Amino acid sequence: GQQVMQIPQYQHVQEGEDFTTYCNSSTTLSNIQWYKQRPGGHPVFLIQLVKSGEVKKQKRLTFQFGEAKKNSSLHITATQTTDVGTYFCAPPQKLVFGQGTRLTINP
Amino acid sequence: DGGITQSPKYLFRKEGQNVTLSCEQNLNHDAMYWYRQDPGQGLRLIYYSQIVNDFQKGDIAEGYSVSREKKESFPLTVTSAQKNPTAFYLCASSLTETSTDTQYFGPGTRLTVL
């Protein structure tokens, strides 16, 4: 099935700094979904991107789908402690989620 | 109160014993999934079911078994054949198996084999 690679695997930032995680696929994706998992919790759906070049915003979070629909990114502006967690991208077939990017924040 | 539940939250078993993890949903979803998560790792699919009485193996099905006798329930049995069963197990469901459907996850079961 389709697999995606996420980078970086870990990211530690100072509160207030920006954060970006990237999701890359070797094949074209029909859509991509992003999930967030808080420490000790379960993944929760954030957003879905379907169109080439699509950009969606949720408050301080900006999600982007590449023009070729092979990559996606999640950018958080001015991180807050509530942003701590692991962010996963999920390819259409859900066979294997991206490894995730674990975000930790220094308050 | 709609949702997906897993029980128990923590489970301890001795090596060589089979153990069954429960997953129930009242969302009227057709598709259900079982994932395994190891510390600091992503989610790996064990089994999934698109409809009652049907299920398919995921990438790491060896040592596991499932059943889907009811739409609401998708229990996972971790057998003694699973070489390294200690992990966090997540159950999820979606309206259908269509790729654009959102997955809803249960709270998970942390299995420790002693």
Q: pLDDT digit string (tens) for A27-53?
A: 999 999 999 999 999 999 999 999 999
Q: Which residue of A has its CA nearest to B91?
A: A42
**How does DSSP assign B15-68, residue by residue?**
TT--EEEEEEE-S--SEEEEEEE-TT--EEEEEEEEETTEEEE-TT-TTEEE--
Chain position carrying tokens 């409809």: B51
Chain position carrying tokens 């060589």: B16
Beta bridge partners of A87: A36, A101
pLDDT of A4:
86
Q: Is some CB atom of chain B closer than 8 A to the CB atom of A8?
A: no
Q: Is some CB atom of chain B closer than 8 A to the CB atom of A98?
A: yes
Whether B11 has a pLDDT exceeding 60, the answer reads: yes
Q: Which residue of A has its CA nearest to B106?
A: A42
Whether B70 has a pLDDT exceeding 70, the answer reads: yes
Task: Tell if the CB–CB gap between B44 and A96 is shorter than 8 Å.
Answer: yes
Task: Specify whether the CB–CB gap between B4 and B92 falls below 8 A.
Answer: yes
- Residue-wise pLDDT tens digits, A59-69: 999 999 999 99
pLDDT of A95:
62
Please provide the average confidence, as pLDDT, over all residues in chain B: 93
Chain position carrying tokens 């990114």: A73
- Residue-wise pLDDT tens digits, A76-98: 999 999 999 999 999 887 666 77
| B40 — pLDDT class (breaks 50, 70, 90) | confident
pLDDT of A9:
94
pLDDT, mean of residues B72-87: 94
Strands B43-51 and B54-57: antiparallel
Q: Nearest 5°: phi and psi at A20? A: -140, 135
pLDDT of B111:
96
Interface test with A, best of B4, B33, B99, B110 (most A CBs within 10 A): B99
Of A94, A89, A47, the C-alpha closest to B50 is A94
Query: What percent of chain A stands above pLDDT 90?
Result: 83
pLDDT of B101:
85
Strands A10-14 and A101-106: parallel
pLDDT, mean of residues B84-99: 91
